[in-house]
Amino acid sequence: MNEMDQAWRRLAVAARRAPPAEIPAVPFGLATRIAARWGRTDATGADEPWNWLARPALMGAAALAAGAVALSYEPMVNAWTALSGSAAVLEVLLPL
Amino acid sequence: MGEPPFDLAACVARVRQRDEEAASRMVEHLYPLVIKIVRAHRSPRLAEEDVAQEIFLRVFAKLDQYRGEVAFEHWVSRVAVNVSLNALRSLKCRPELRWADLNEAEAEALGATLAGGEPSAEQSVAARDLVEKLLDCLNPEDRLVISLMDLEERSVAEVRRITGWSEAMVKVRAFRARRKLRKHLERFQRRENL
């Protein structure tokens, strides 16, 4: 084993031997403060910004995507048809 | 007549019904467990009361997700470890430890260790503080795995259970973390030999 690995091991053993720090009682008023802070939050967690922002944003994005597809559907189909229609001309022109 | 024994299951049920008094009782009951975890995985640069408060708020917010498959204390421990990790991540930068940052007792304990000896029983507190400072130089995940395995002497399986990482990940992280610690100690030794 590497010398430094052994040094670390010795240090860890010594650290484990240290008397455990005393666990304090709950600081006065902390429990009540935490409970009150939790009580102020909405039960559904709706006060968290992501919760009330995410859903409308997601729905808006979905509506925009659907709108974009609907608007571009016809031009895309027409372009594809025009391209197919010009295939015969291309067949003549390309070998030249 | 004394106070009736604390009924954790009943308390959990009451907290689920948004009972603030029950929430307060739960904080009092779980505080020793939570503060022990906070202290084990906290940077000296973080206030332990703030981290503990964050843990309890997370426990209450996620209480509906507790299905009772494991003991409630174990579930709380896992939440506490995750919140402590996030708190450590929020610190972003990690200090570089130098001889000048060590107090006299810590420097003596380190000197004894690097010279191949073992810190004496009287130096154990200094050794613990020194280890704390060394761990503060690691990233949160490395620090967590070293605290659990080398200081709390937990097995790979236990670390897996606490962190949710795979066995391979626990082993790889422990290996990398020890390598980083080795480098820190080597740097100290070079300085000692100057």
Domain boundaries, given as residue ranges, for chain B: 8-93, 99-193
Chain-chain contact of A26 with B49 (C-beta, under 8 angstroms): no
Tell me, what DSSP letter sits at residue B117? -
Contacts of A39 in chain B (CB under 8 A): 18, 20, 23
Using pLDDT thresholds of 50, 70 and 90, give the confidence band for residue B194.
Answer: low
Write out pLDDT tens, residues A40-94: 875 555 555 666 677 788 889 999 999 888 888 877 777 777 767 777 776 777 6
**Chain A partners within 8 Å of B185 (Cβ):** 4, 7-8
**Cα gap B136→B145, rounded to integer Å:** 13
- The pTM of this model reads 0.66
Contact B124 A21 (CB under 8 A): no
Can you tell me the distance from the alpha carbon of B167 to that of B188, in angstroms, rounded to the nearest whole number? 32
Q: Compare all CA atoms of chain B with the CA of A46 and give the residue at the minimum distance.
A: B61
Residue B74 CA to its chain's centroid (Å): 15
Q: What is the pLDDT of residues A4-32, one digit of tens each?
A: 888 889 889 888 888 877 777 888 899 99
Structural domains in chain A (count): 1
Is 60 exceeded by the pLDDT of residue A2?
yes
Please give, rounded to a whole number of angstroms, the shortest distance from the CA of A40 to a CA of chain B. Answer: 10
Q: Which two tokens stand for residue B98?
A: 């130098």
B8-93 carries CATH number 3.30.70.140: no
Q: Is pLDDT at B116 greater than 70 in this prediction? A: yes
Tens-digit pLDDT profile for residues B29-77: 999 999 988 888 877 777 888 899 999 999 999 998 898 888 899 999 9
Q: From the CB of residue A90, how many other CB atoms can be counted at a distance below 10 Å? A: 10
Q: How many CB atoms lie within 10 A of CB B114?
A: 20
CATH topology of domain B99-193: Arc Repressor Mutant, subunit A (1.10.10)
Domain-located, residue A40:
no
Residue A90's domain comprises 50-95
Contact B40, B152 (CB under 8 A): yes
For chain A, report the end-to-end CA distance as a whole number of angstroms: 77
Flag if B20 and A36 touch (Cβ within 8 Å): yes
Place of tokens 């299905």: B67
- Cα distance between residue B155 and residue B157, in whole Å: 5
pLDDT-derived band at B187, boundaries 50, 70, 90: confident
